[in-house]
Amino acid sequence: MKLISVNDLSLQNEGYFAFKHVAFSISQNEIISISGDNGSGKTQLLEILTDNRMADGGTIEYTPGVRIGYLPQNDPQIIEATVGKYLENIRLLSKKLAVRKDQLKEMITFMGLSPYLDRSVQQLSWGIRRRVGFLAAVAGHPNVLLLDEPFAFQSSSIIKNMLTLIQDLKENGSGIILAGTEFDERINQCIDKSFLLKDNNLSLASSIEEEPNQEVALIFRVNPNSIAITPDLEKYIVSNINNLIEMKTPVALRNTIVKRMVQLNYQFEGDKEIES
């Protein structure tokens, strides 16, 4: 079941596009990654998903009952409470949906935070504060978890434990989005679908890495004001059912065709992997 669907999302910063025509979804029991260079728009995209920023165009559909846990790249909060008190307060906010108190205690030990329970969060090093923020995002047992650069400044053993908790959430029906500059092979093995945010566009990373003649499936929704598709685009259509148009196009033409279809008032719904 899809938990969040992003359709034709665009954001401008001071007249320039941070990204445009972004479309993807996150489902239950799924981990996806969004990678890209610093400044490519990953953080802003997650901020929009958490309703901390407004997009300039497009829509986001949330399945009723979605609860989001979020680890921002830079948390502006000044947290004077101790680690133990802060995490317990976060747990209590989610009431019966959160992990149990004894489970939280085990997670604190698992993440190597027991020595810091009585210290103010604000007094901790940046890397340890990130661990606290990660547990705060997980403690409410969200069904959507958004993590922005979660593994930065963490040891190999801590990353392994973070991945264990992330996998546990996935197996219990959550969807997880990992955003980062790049991910190593150990992390990639846990990811079900990888996206690359580059040159203002979000594409399946597998498509970017394929040969130039590789094809990709694009999905568009027909709007009431959609204009008739021109013959040069029509040749790429493989199905048109229930107001959803699927087009099979060369990877090299993806962005051009998305732009043309949007100009004809069709809503871009995202890429679809072509089964071999």
pLDDT 10s digits, 65-77: 999 999 999 887 8
pLDDT 10s digits, 124-150: 999 999 999 999 999 999 999 999 999
97 pLDDT above the threshold of 90 = no
Least Cα distance to 183 among 137, 152, 146 occurs for: 152
209 pLDDT above the threshold of 50 = no
Mean pLDDT over all residues of the chain?
A: 91
> Above pLDDT 90, what percent of the chain?
73
Between CA 104 and CA 5, with CA 178 as vertex, the angle to 5 degrees is 105
273 pLDDT above the threshold of 60 = yes
d(CA 156, CA 191) in angstroms, rounded, equals 18
Average pLDDT (190-195) is 92
| Helices and strands of the chain, counted as H and E runs | 9, 13
Which of 180-184, 237-241, 248-252 is least confident? 248-252
> Above pLDDT 70, what percent of the chain?
96
Amino acid at 5: S
0.85 exceeded by the pTM?
Answer: no
Domain map (residue ranges) of the chain: 2-198, 213-272
95 pLDDT band (50/70/90 cuts)?
confident
How many Cα atoms occupy the beta-carbon half-sphere of 258 within 13 Å?
26
196 vs 15: which has the higher pLDDT: 196
Residue 31: per-residue pLDDT: 97
Superfamily of domain 2-198: P-loop containing nucleotide triphosphate hydrolases (3.40.50.300)
Long-range contacts of 234-243 (CB under 8 A, 24+ apart): none
Residue 253: per-residue pLDDT: 85
